[in-house]
Structure 1
Amino acid sequence: MGDSFLTFLLSEIELCLNHRQGFLHVKDFNKENGNPGSLLTNVILQTSGSQNGGEPLSVIQKAEFRQWIEYISIYGHLLQNSSSSQPVLKELNDVLCAKSFFTSSSYPTIIDAVFYGILHKIMSSITFQEKEQYVNLSRWFNTIQHDSIVRRSRSMVTFSKNALYT
């Protein structure tokens, strides 16, 4: 996994947390000893209490957060171009088949905001037909992009309301 993707990922997390929590500075992963995924997990877990209505995260929620941060730190770089992204998009689509959001059934969390930021480029570039192949991921993405805080200055991605292909 390249340093450029980890830099991008840290930047995306920092932007998400700044918009949700006020200013937060994420340390440069190059100065850390150990796994960058551990740094990402610690940063998100330390600042995500308000993701749960101000309540501390449960053990299960913490485990889900850790799982998704590990997942995105390992596979997220594959989402930077369409040729390598299909297996990851399919897996995310399958996960969202039974869930509305990645770590919650009723509201988006910081994990959803981070995934949105990382997926925006690829979702902007794929065709309507490809978006329909990932119907659950497309539904989730379209829901998340309507939150102006999460979307920030990114453009809206267009989705067809009618099935174009069968």
Structure 2
Amino acid sequence: MSFQAAVSKLSTPTKELVVAVTENGTRHIGETEKDQTEVAEWIEKAGQADVASEANIQSLNSTLLPRTYLVSNYLTAADVAIYGALHPHFSKLQPPQYHGVPSLTRFFDHIQHSDVVRASAAALSPSFDLVAFDLENAPKLERKAEPSKKKEKKPAAVAEAEKPAAAAAPAEQATKKEKKEKKKDAAAEDAGKKKAAGGGKAPAADEGEPVPSMIDLRVGRIVDIMKHPDADGLYVEQIDIGEETGPRTVVSGLVNYIPIEDMREKFLVAVCNLKPATMRGVKSFAMVLCATSKEGKEGGIELIQPPPNAKPGDRVYFEGEYENGTPLPQLNPKKKIFETIQPGFITLESREAAWVNPTTKSVHRIRTKDGVCVAPTLVGASLS
């Protein structure tokens, strides 16, 4: 079903909201052909009469457990349609009921606070008033340990009965071994030809000693933030780093150190080429660079701030010999590149962020084209 056909089947208030949101940006229809197809499919589901049935509510809750959005990693019309279709249902729920579907409740609350949804809803009618949730007092989720996968011991009679079937194994294994040897010989011969022709494999970009320019640092801005539904110490942020695909979902363990009010709309420095990691069911696509007091976490943690006039997506680099280096597309966790570089990260007496070469002791300030990145108050702090 096409996007327009799916939208036409929505209830009037939800249809108006979806149309208003998509008028604010065509990317809400989907950035790729695949995304567009999925968006249309979700909108079709939102238009079905049983969208708020118990079975569908539970299914949505399971679907959203590892996700921030229904399609890809950015807000689309699919999220708006499901939010709009469920609004009458969620506006009547009591805490025990919405606490029973924590992932869907977290999703609903996130979408209803989205800037574009609030602006579009305000221009329509009071049909989509904010629904208040008591998330602070939500019951803790019990996570059951997975059952151990011990290999069951077969009864002696069964094991004995299977022995004849294994008699042909040696001949079969010999055939497989012969084929494997032929493939190995062919591969060796091909490699030898390439080597002789000077066509040897080019060295990997991350070979050799780790250097700071391998790390992809960029200016970001928090456009939305909420507490992780399943972890008291984690925030889930939407950070704009100037990408056409929209904000990245980032999980940060800062709840106990920086109040949520001090995180909203903040500009920061993001580490953008770490391998994405799932943290308590939510996938994180970057890391927020913070300064930790030399007295430890209890002495304070602060966001590293880019210079005034910085914009999301601005390149952040290291002064000096690493200025023109090209970051790796993604750091290989096995090579511990970030972990090797990180001990040299520090804030100077001027509170400026820098990397100090452990061998030469040379200082390389961390900056954008507009100026140096700083910590608000911390001196001699480590960065991570």
Specify the TM-score bucket, using the shorter chain as the normaliser.
Answer: 0.5 to 0.7
Work out the CA distance in 2 between the residues paired with 1:141 and 1:99. 12
How has the CA–CA distance of structure 1 residues 130 and 99 changed in structure 2, closer, same or farther, with 3 Å as cutoff? same
1:57 to 11, 24, 31: 31
More helix as a share of residues: 1
Runs of 4+ with deviation above 4 angstroms: none
Percent identical: 23
Work out the CA distance in 2 between the residues paired with 1:123 and 1:155. 11
Higher Rg of the two aligned structures: 2
Work out the CA distance in 1 between the residues paired with 2:40 and 2:129. 29
Given that 1:79 and 1:88 are in contact with CA atoms closer than 8 Å, whether structure 2 keeps it comes out as yes
How has the CA–CA distance of structure 1 residues 144 and 125 changed in structure 2, closer, same or farther, with 3 Å as cutoff? same
- The CA deviation string for residues 6-61 of structure 1, in whole angstroms up to 9 with x for no partner, is 76535522332134417xxxxxxxxxxxxxxxxxxxxxxxxx73327xxx731220
Given that 1:102 and 1:111 are in contact with CA atoms closer than 8 Å, whether structure 2 keeps it comes out as yes
How does the TM-score come out when normalised to structure 1?
0.64
Is 1:103 matched up with 2:71? yes
Is 1:78 matched up with 2:50? yes
How does the TM-score come out when normalised to structure 2?
0.30
Given that 2:46 and 2:85 are in contact with CA atoms closer than 8 Å, whether structure 1 keeps it comes out as no
Q: 1:126: how far off? A: 1.4
Work out the CA distance in 1 between the residues paired with 2:79 and 2:21. 14
Count, aligned residues: 126
2:96 to 109, 129, 136: 129
Work out the CA distance in 1 between the residues paired with 2:103 and 2:133. 12
2:61 to 93, 104, 108: 93
- Cross-structure match for 2:219: none
- Cross-structure match for 2:108: 141
- AA aligned to 2:44 is E
| Structure 2 portions without partners, runs of 5+ | 1-7, 142-384
How has the CA–CA distance of structure 1 residues 10 and 104 changed in structure 2, closer, same or farther, with 3 Å as cutoff? farther
More strand as a share of residues: 2
- Cross-structure match for 1:17: 19
When the two chains are superposed, the root-mean-square deviation of aligned CA atoms in Å is 2.7
Given that 1:116 and 1:145 are in contact with CA atoms closer than 8 Å, whether structure 2 keeps it comes out as yes
Q: 1:143: how far off? A: 0.7
How has the CA–CA distance of structure 1 residues 156 and 87 changed in structure 2, closer, same or farther, with 3 Å as cutoff? same
Given that 2:43 and 2:77 are in contact with CA atoms closer than 8 Å, whether structure 1 keeps it comes out as no
How has the CA–CA distance of structure 1 residues 140 and 12 changed in structure 2, closer, same or farther, with 3 Å as cutoff? same
- Cross-structure match for 2:41: 67
Is 1:162 matched up with 2:137? yes
Work out the CA distance in 2 between the residues paired with 1:19 and 1:66. 15
Q: 1:149: how far off? A: 2.3
Q: 1:151: how far off? A: 4.1
| Structure 1 portions without partners, runs of 5+ | 1-5, 23-47
- Cross-structure match for 2:226: none
- The CA deviation string for residues 113-135 of structure 1, in whole angstroms up to 9 with x for no partner, is 11111111100111111101110
Q: 1:100: how far off? A: 0.3
Structure with the larger RCO, 1 or 2 (CA within 8 Å, 6+ apart): 1
